[in-house]
Chain A
Amino acid sequence: MTNDSSQIVVSSRVRLARNYHDLPFSNLKRPESALLCVQRAQKALDGGAEKERFSLFRLQDMNKLDQMSLVEQHLVSRDLLEHSEVGAALIRDDRHVSVMINEEDHLRIQAMLDGLSLADAAKLAFAAEEKLATVCDFSFDNQLGYLTACPTNTGTGMRASLMLHLPMLTRCKQMGNVTQSVAKLGLTIRGIYGEGSEALGDLYQVSNQVTLGRTEEELIEAVTAVGRQLIEMENVLRQRAAGDGLDLQDGVWRSYGVLLYAKQMNDAEFMAHWSNLRLGITTGILNVSLSAADDLLTLAQDAHAKTFKHSHPNLESTDQARCVIIQNRLSAKEE
């Protein structure tokens, strides 16, 4: 077992909410303003070096499956799909940066990196933000900072979040206590698809709740500090479980067996076994690559499985397609 933070931190994400100063906010639903937002953002991010190229995805040009597939990759939020007539996203080709357009705010600039790397993710987000600001000024007030559609984002407009895999804390029924103590620090814990979502696969998102009156660095430090503390707690429980009979191993091997040989599996069952798979890999019980497990977190979700089924007519159901995807990825030789 190692203490590498990526064993527990799946990804780090920084999101900035910005609005153009001269246009009504998105919830007023003015199509001409929405169009202008897309044009401005596209113009600002046009060109750039190969690695920094952005592609535009307009929701109205996409089918529901492709839209959901972007949600499963965490490139856009579920909320953006609520604005499917005007919603769009500029996604950097390496998929580390995406800009949602016409969601709750005109722009939601998001950077995502593997493991515990909020400060680096913030640099990526700010680089994109500075480029976007070259076309038109953002709504900003010297006292209140960046002005957002919802006052809960006013100030920095920044949400720094860590996606953490905390199976042992969940099993030891510690998440209730964790949620309470985290709230006292101005932070919040949610399921992986953000507000109101369940903690499928024992995955949690820790992020700052407060956005006004603190610097971006302070917010990142606070989230990172809590992340480190949760890593430590989870590691203690994992070590304890490893030395405590065969329960941990039994659970991991059973789930691995199901993932390798099942013929149909729904998403909730997959997430439960996925959690055991990742736990088995990170505790050294299974000799499977961590990136395979983390890839499956996206590849074996509903929209991806449905898309796979469409291209493989011999498959009878999404749940069958999911099993084929899982087994292909787990048997693939690592490069």
Chain B
Amino acid sequence: MLCEECNKNPATVVVTVMSANGAATRHLCKDCLEKMETSFAKGDMSSFLAALSSILSKEPKKAETIRCDACGLTYEEFLSTGKLGCTQCYKAFADQLKPLLLRVHGRNQHAGRVPANRREERAFELCISELKTRMEQAVSEENFEMAASLRDEIHTLTEKQNAEVHPQ
């Protein structure tokens, strides 16, 4: 990654700048970091503030700019009401919702009922996931013959499933 200040040298340090708007992180090269530190040490606040404001303006605004394209709800609006706008919000805010769901529920994989028309698909997923676990177990036990056979089984089942979903 290149230094975000000069865009020339490779970034070697990560700087966290605190402001009223929260913490902003920047990736800088050694030279630009020194420049920033020197200007701050000299009491040259104007250049330091300019550097700071450039940092803050380059930092993506987290809550305000993430928007669900389907319904128009922003992540900030969700935070203020606690309510999502539509099914697609779960995809648009996936990165933010993942830790939140984990914090609320302690888990993040659904284990309950599945709609009637999704049951086959779900059963297939569970079957493949179990075969993969067994395959990894076989590899860790250096039972490569078994692992290869499980890999083939996964391959065959996936091919068969794809043929059913997208028949030629």
Contacts and interface: CB of A to CB of B under 8 A. Distances in A.
A248 to B, nearest CB: 41
Given A142-B121, A144-B90, A104 B83 contact: yes
Interface string A189-220: 00000000000000000000011111110100
B108 A150 contact: no
A23 B122 CA distance: 24
Interface string B83-95: 1111100100000
Interface of A, secondary structure class, is loop
Contacts of B116: 130, 133
Contacts of A186: 106
A219 B121 CA distance: 24
A150 B84 contact: yes
A247 interface: no
A140 B118 contact: yes
A210 B106 contact: yes
Nearest to A212: B105
Contacts, number: 104
A25 interface: yes
Interface in B102-118: 104-118
Nearest to B86: A24
Contacts of A156: 110, 112-113
Interface of B, secondary structure class, is loop
Interface string A103-119: 01000000000000000
Given A24-B71, A28-B86, A149-B84, A140 B108 contact: no
Given A149-B83, A210-B105, A28 B110 contact: no
A253 B116 CA distance: 55
A21 B87 contact: yes
B22 interface: no
B118 A27 contact: no
Interface residues of A, number: 40
Nearest to A129: B113
A140 B115 contact: yes
Contact of A144 (B82, B83, B110, B118): B110
B110 A151 contact: no
Contact of A152 (B104, B109, B112, B114): B104
Contacts of B113: 126, 156, 215-216
Contact of B109 (A19, A138, A147, A213): A213
B137 to A, nearest CB: 23
B97 interface: yes
Given A27-B81, A28-B86, A151-B97, A213 B115 contact: no
B105 A213 contact: yes
Contacts of B115: 133, 137-138, 140
B107 A147 contact: no
18 contacts: A19-B87, A28-B71, A28-B85, A126-B113, A133-B115, A137-B117, A139-B87, A140-B115, A147-B84, A150-B82, A150-B84, A212-B104, A212-B108, A212-B109, A212-B110, A213-B105, A213-B106, A213-B108
Given A145-B111, A213-B105, 7 more contacts: A144-B101, A151-B104, A152-B82, A155-B105, A158-B112, A212-B107, A215-B112
Interface of A: 19, 21-25, 27-28, 104, 126, 130, 133, 137-147, 149-152, 154-156, 158, 186, 210-216, 218
